Amino acid sequence: MLLSLNSFLVLGALLFCIGLFGALSKRNAVSVLMGIEIMLNAVNITLVAFSSAFQKSAHGARLTGQIFAVFIITVAAAEASVALATIIAVYRRRNSVDVTDINLMKW
């Protein structure tokens, strides 16, 4: 029973929480982004596991979960490029990428 849907979901939950810890607890902005990438990967694993578990249906293969995973990968790539450009722009102005120093919009 190791290859049931639940073991993949538990794996996704573990990865998501590790990524959440990384995104919440890091000072370096690039590191925060790496945590977010791990979280997106965990969600992708969950979606693909659901898609694979419910693949057999009356109309052939059900692949909606895998389509969603493709869209998540697309948006993650766009997000990574814009976020890293922002980090480099911030570094150029302030000579630091410490997210605890960047508090201009905090009240």
Q: Pick from 57, 58, 60, 107: which binds other proteins (CB under 8 A)?
A: 60
How many Cβ atoms sit within 10 Å of the Cβ of residue 12?
21
Q: Rule CB under 8 A: is residue 56 a binding residue for other proteins?
A: yes
Query: Interface residues for other proteins in 75-94 (CB under 8 A)?
Result: 75-82, 84-89, 91-92
CB of 81 to other proteins, least distance (A): 4
The reply on whether position 58 binds other proteins by CB under 8 A is no
Would you call 60 helix, strand, or coil by DSSP?
strand
Toward other proteins, which CB reaches closer, 94 or 107? Answer: 94
Query: Residue 82: what are its φ and ψ, rounded to 5°?
Result: -70, -40
Cβ atoms of 42 and 16 within 8 Å: the answer is yes
